[in-house]
Structure 1
């Protein structure tokens, strides 16, 4: 007997993501509890962020308000978009694109945040004029130890900022292009053929991401000692964690789903269930990160001591990572 003749495949396992009403109809008691808890987490994340915005506007100097709000908003925004994608699976691609665009801006804002914490561009150039930047760092050149150290000048600072800024602009531009192509049925995440738009756009965005993360890592490695008192290391860790969870984790789950590794459970196809699992995990993870970042950024924003002189160059609050003059 042919086993395949007795095997039936549920139509939902090969179809498009279900409508929101289909999810609501098929929810059991455990599903209702799960969706309710995750939705509550997303709402609480946004409420915590709004409360933090009020605190920032009251307590933080004007030059830091915008960048701190942008950086703090990464986890709540991703959590909110994931909640929308969880309830409306057909919109998952768009919610993920919006989250990606927001985080692209956060990458640039985190670089600006580190500069503002030392007093801005001019103060940074005064403090770091005799130092050099180590560019053999991740994610691009961590293995290229032979790369020379770069002098800190206005030009090198501009190139670092440009490297992060290009991601915010080009990521948004390619997202708009993807949506336009999607409406014309030329962009499909499931289409892995060489003629598909997704197979070209997504790897290029990956290159832009790595290119943008490099200058942020260079600046962090240089300022981590000077900004140690304001907990820059755990702040950078949270920023990296948001990146890993929202980009790498989501990509891995989606690839497994597209390959059929994740089983189909009606009304979700294998791919749709993978997207759903990704959204649910992100809500929980971003909720925890929101609470942690609130603790890290809720502090007194006193200025750093004035730039070091010959007599106080050993002051731990102002010293930077010193690079050899001849590298």
Structure 2
């Protein structure tokens, strides 16, 4: 065992280097790479700020606040990734900040779909009494036997609560994790049963699945109604941010913990994997920021007002036409 340890570069067993150490070891390619990625993160933030000004001026309240929250997901993740790229010791904090922000975005996207309908009351007028399919991902996509539920005020409250709990509890667990880390009780690489990481992370994963379920249910129910508002590509961008910021990060971290990502002094395997993830996220979030700008920075005509007596009028017209047809035959 001693011979094996002697063959490992001591730098591969060290913690993340300081920012000044990163700058000193950069070669020409590294300088160009870091400069381009920093420029992308900066442009993402500037595009978002410009979009906020447009939305604040053109979109009525309270929808403009919700749109700004949803649009901020990609720029915030890109900015946090850029900070983590330059300051590797802060990667845990930047990742947790991005995850906490996206937890709020999950709830805000559900609210956005409701506000595109005109708000809670207008949604209940349009869809009240209709059936809503709940056999959808990520919880019950295979459970086709689940019965549909009726859209009521109570159903809407439960859907909103299912997403809101993630926004609140994710922030709470982030604070708890940081407090435990300062006391030496929280370590992402410690997967022992006695460690806190093995208990906190799976629980947060369950909360994530529970929060995503109401959003998927609402999207399935409203995707036809909100087609004119480009809700399908908006939902696709929201899902893409989710996959890249959560699933991609988890996969790379697992590979790094298993040693599948080679050590490159002064970066250990885990730190190098985290830096690779930050680089990918900056590029991906920059592209998503540009796409979401095309989707949200434009004017959409509001949905036509819902007439509660429209179906009755149609039935009356049918009855009148049938009566006239019977008179003609007589």
TM band (smaller chain): over 0.9
Q: Look at both structures and tell me which one has the larger radius of gyration over its CA atoms.
A: 2
Alpha-carbon offset, residue 126 of structure 1: 0.3
> In structure 1, how many angstroms separate the alpha carbons of the residues matched to 2:300 and 2:5?
69
Alpha-carbon offset, residue 3 of structure 1: 12
- Please, which runs of 5 or more residues in structure 2 have no aligned partner? 313-330
1:264 equivalent in structure 2: 263
> In structure 2, how many angstroms separate the alpha carbons of the residues matched to 1:6 and 1:70?
49
TM-score, normalised relative to structure 2:
0.92
Alpha-carbon offset, residue 247 of structure 1: 0.3
1:200 equivalent in structure 2: 199
Alpha-carbon offset, residue 130 of structure 1: 3.0
Contact 1:160 1:215 in 2 (8 A): yes
- Alpha carbons of structure 1 residues 202 and 3: separation in structure 2 relative to 1, 3 Å: closer
The 5 Å alignment of 1:176-255 reads: 176-255=175-254
Alpha-carbon offset, residue 177 of structure 1: 0.3
- Alpha carbons of structure 1 residues 88 and 304: separation in structure 2 relative to 1, 3 Å: same
- Alpha carbons of structure 1 residues 258 and 108: separation in structure 2 relative to 1, 3 Å: same
> In structure 2, how many angstroms separate the alpha carbons of the residues matched to 1:190 and 1:63?
42
**What RMSD in Å do the two structures reach over aligned CA positions?**
1.7
Contact 2:129 2:152 in 1 (8 A): no
> In structure 2, how many angstroms separate the alpha carbons of the residues matched to 1:257 and 1:308?
57
Residues paired across the two proteins, number: 313
> In structure 1, how many angstroms separate the alpha carbons of the residues matched to 2:137 and 2:118?
26
- Please, which runs of 5 or more residues in structure 1 have no aligned partner? 314-327
Deviations 1:8-49 (A, max 9, x none): 321110110111011100000000000000000000000000
Secondary structure (helix, strand or coil) at the match of 2:265 reads coil
Deviations 1:158-213 (A, max 9, x none): 00000000000000000000000001100000001000000000000000000000
Deviations 1:63-107 (A, max 9, x none): 211100000000000000000000000000000000000000000
1:97 equivalent in structure 2: 96
Contact 1:89 1:276 in 2 (8 A): yes
Contact 1:78 1:99 in 2 (8 A): yes
- Alpha carbons of structure 1 residues 72 and 281: separation in structure 2 relative to 1, 3 Å: same
The 5 Å alignment of 1:68-147 reads: 68-147=67-146
> In structure 1, how many angstroms separate the alpha carbons of the residues matched to 2:309 and 2:57?
37
- Alpha carbons of structure 1 residues 188 and 6: separation in structure 2 relative to 1, 3 Å: closer
> In structure 1, how many angstroms separate the alpha carbons of the residues matched to 2:103 and 2:176?
16
Alpha-carbon offset, residue 233 of structure 1: 0.3
2:52 equivalent in structure 1: 53
- Alpha carbons of structure 1 residues 101 and 147: separation in structure 2 relative to 1, 3 Å: same
Alpha-carbon offset, residue 301 of structure 1: 3.8
> In structure 1, how many angstroms separate the alpha carbons of the residues matched to 2:179 and 2:2?
44
TM-score, normalised relative to structure 1:
0.93
> In structure 1, how many angstroms separate the alpha carbons of the residues matched to 2:11 and 2:3?
19
Alpha-carbon offset, residue 309 of structure 1: 4.5
| Larger deviation, residues 42-51 vs 57-66 | 57-66
Secondary structure (helix, strand or coil) at the match of 1:62 reads coil
> In structure 2, how many angstroms separate the alpha carbons of the residues matched to 1:96 and 1:104?
12
Contact 1:45 1:76 in 2 (8 A): yes
Alpha-carbon offset, residue 6 of structure 1: 11
- Alpha carbons of structure 1 residues 137 and 186: separation in structure 2 relative to 1, 3 Å: same
